Amino acid sequence: MKTLVIAPHADDEILGVGGTLLKRKSQGHTLAWVIVTKPSKHLGWNNIQKENRDKQICLIKDQIGFDKLYQLDFPAAKLNQNELPSLINSISKIIKEFAPEEIFFPHLGDVHTDHEIVHKAIISSTKSFRNHFLKRLIVYETLSETEFGLDKTKAFFPNLYIDISRFLDQKIKLLNIYSSEVDKFPFPRSEESIMALAKYRGSTSNCLAAEAFQILKQIE
C-alpha cells in the first residue's frame, strides 16, 4: 500500500501518525510525507534554528523510512483563504505523482488555522473522479490542536483505531528529535501526554496503545 501523510508543520506527522507510520513501514508499505509550511523570521526563527529544523526533518525521514519527502515552503502560521488555490494546486500535483491509496491529514476542527486550511485544500484535491487510485481519506488528531478546538460541530469522533503497542516507545523517541517542540507535563506535547493519549486510545480498542483516526471516505 502507498500511504501519504500531510503535515501542516514538521512534527504533526509524529504527533498524529507516528506509530502508524512505523507500523506501515514494518509491513512493507511505501510512505511519502508532505510538509506544507516552513518556519520564518516573522515567527522569530533565526538561520541556525532553521538549519537545525532541516537536520531534524532529515532524521525523521531516515528513521521513519519515508520513500518520498515533499516540502512546500508556505509560511507557517500565515496560511489563509488566499493561499487555498496555490495550496490545492501543489497538493494535487503531489497526489498525482505519488498516487497514494490512503492519505492521513489534519482534522478540520483543529484550532490552528494552518490545519484548517490544509484540511480544506486536501478535500478539494482528492475528488475520486480525478484520483481513481485513492481509496481512503483519514484525519488524525494532533495534541495541542485537536483537543483545543471548541466548535462542537467540528468535534473529532474517531472511528478507526490502529494498534501501535510495539511502536509507542519509538514514537516518543522520534518526537524528542523536535526538541524545541517538546516540554514537561502538563504541556500537551510532552512524553507523558503522548503516552497518556496512546494508552487511552488503546483502552478504547482493547490494546496497550493506539492512535485514533476518523475515516472521512473509504472506497472498496
pTM comes to 0.96
**CATH code 3.40.50.2020 for 2-161+213-218:** no
Range from 36-45, 121-130, 151-160 carrying the lowest mean pLDDT: 36-45
pLDDT at 44 over 80: no
Task: Give me the pLDDT at residue 137, please.
Answer: 98
Whether omega for the bond prior to residue 188 falls within 30 degrees of 0, making it cis, is no
Burial, 17: exposed, middle or buried (Cβ in 10 Å; 0-12, 13-18, 19+)?
buried
Question: For 129-187, how does the pLDDT look when each residue is reduced to its tens digit (9 = 90+)?
Answer: 999 999 999 999 999 999 999 999 999 999 999 999 999 999 999 999 999 999 999 99
pLDDT at 40: 74
113 and 102 Cβ atoms separated by less than 8 Å: no
**Cβ-Cβ contacts under 8 Å for 132 (sequence gap 6 or more):** none
The three cell numbers locating residue 109: 476542527
67-87 pLDDT, tens digit per residue, is 999 999 898 888 988 889 999
- The full DSSP string for 104-151 is EEE-TT-SSHHHHHHHHHHHHH--TTT-TT--EEEEE--TTTGGG---
Q: Which residue is associated with the grid cell 481509496?
A: 135
- For the chain, the domains span 2-161+213-218
> Letter for the amino acid at 120?
K
- Alpha-carbon gap, residue 106 to 116, rounded angstroms: 8
